[in-house]
Structure 1
Amino acid sequence: MDDSLEMLGLADADGGPVAPDCQVFADDGRIPNSPLATLLFRSRGVVAALDREAIAARFERLFRANGWRPSWRGGVYDYHHYHSIAHEAFGVLSGWGRLRLGGERGEDFTLETGDALVLPAGTGHCHLEASEDFLLLAAYPRDQRELDLIRADPEAHDAAVARIAQVSRPPHDPLGGDSARWWA
């Protein structure tokens, strides 16, 4: 049995994934956001023996096993943007970062090593500040092979809303929970 959830501090008492903090952000006319909740899975603490590469390997294994394709490592752009044709997940490999989610009038969230974040298609996100070692692993549902990047722009809004409505819902979140539980 894979112990990645436990090692990343993301297991609940029964060994399943911890319940996420769920946030829904309003459409502001520039960034559509989504009627689906943004999911923030807070780590209870990564096992100290894991270095950044071991954390990355655990997240990659979890994401792949649950139908999410690991794609790149890096940070988040420092301008408000969203993706209209794919949901996006992050696993925090090291450090901490503060992001604003939901657009310019959204909310600020601090992510730390071991946390996982799922942004439904259309959800605005922007880097505000981070530790020098802040590094994310990004992943996308297996059937969502392309990614667009749209800045906060009222002229792009309506066409993006139509594309967002067509994005499929994966059966599982990247940690293995039933997506319908969070995205009813």
Structure 2
Amino acid sequence: MKECSTYLFEDDGSIPNNPNLPLLVYLDALDPGQRGAETCKHLLEDNGWRNAWVNGIYSYHHYHSTTHEVLAVISGSAKVKMGGDKGEEISISEGDVIVIPAGVGHCRLSSSDDFQVVGAYPGGRSYDLCTGKKSERPQVLENIKNVPLPEQDPVTGEKEPLYKYWEN
């Protein structure tokens, strides 16, 4: 893993984001041998992140209030908007991994034709799909506060580097 960038987003009135846990972007975190769909799914599963799927990222702002999420880029590249309309535009490419705290909005702005990610959730937790509607509150705010920390980092299978940034 070359580097980890962190982003902490405030509630923008629509997307709640997470007041305590930053979004993590691990650049070039996957070795070339870990970038196949099945190999990547097994890596995440072995590290406690289950309920995996392979696809892209929705092209509208959304978030999950019941779980954290990992997105591992296995091919192509994309520009994503993280944190809602007022958030940050981030470029990601093959080998990068994004660890998204519960509540943090994400949206694909553009991507290459071959863009694919493997997504998974700590412990295989069930996820909801929220889009920032007023009717989602205040329940999602309570949900976000109650999501437990993952037992281990999705890439390393250890506490670090995740717990370096996500301490209680």
Question: Who wins on radius of gyration, i.e. which is larger?
Answer: 1
Q: TM-score, normalised by structure 2?
A: 0.89
Residue 39 in 1 paired to residue 28 in 2? no
Counterpart of 2:127 (choices 140, 144, 147) is 147
Counterpart position of 2:78 = 97
Alpha-carbon separation, structure 2, partners of 1:163 and 1:180: 21
Are residues 128 and 40 of structure 1, via their aligned partners in 2, closer, same or farther at CA, if it must alter by over 3 Å? same
- CA separation in 2, counterparts of 1:46 and 1:71? 19
Q: Mean alpha-carbon deviation: is it higher for 64-73 or for 131-140?
A: 64-73
Report the identity percentage.
35
| Partners of 2:10 and 2:16 within 8 A in 1 | yes
Gaps of 5+ in 2: none
Map 1:1-184 → 2, pairs under 5 A? 10=1, 18-34=2-18, 35-43=20-28, 47=32, 55-142=36-123, 144=125, 146-176=126-156, 177-178=158-159, 179-184=162-167
Q: Give the count of matched residue pairs.
A: 163
Q: Which runs of 4+ in 1 moved over 6 A?
A: none
**C-alpha separation in 2, matches of 1:97 and 1:43:** 14
**Partner deviation per Cα, 1:50-72 (whole Å, 9 max, x = no partner):** 5xx95324422321221111511
Q: TM-score w.r.t. structure 1 length?
A: 0.81
Q: CA RMSD in A?
A: 1.9
Task: Give the gaps of 5 or more residues in structure 1.
Answer: 1-9, 11-17
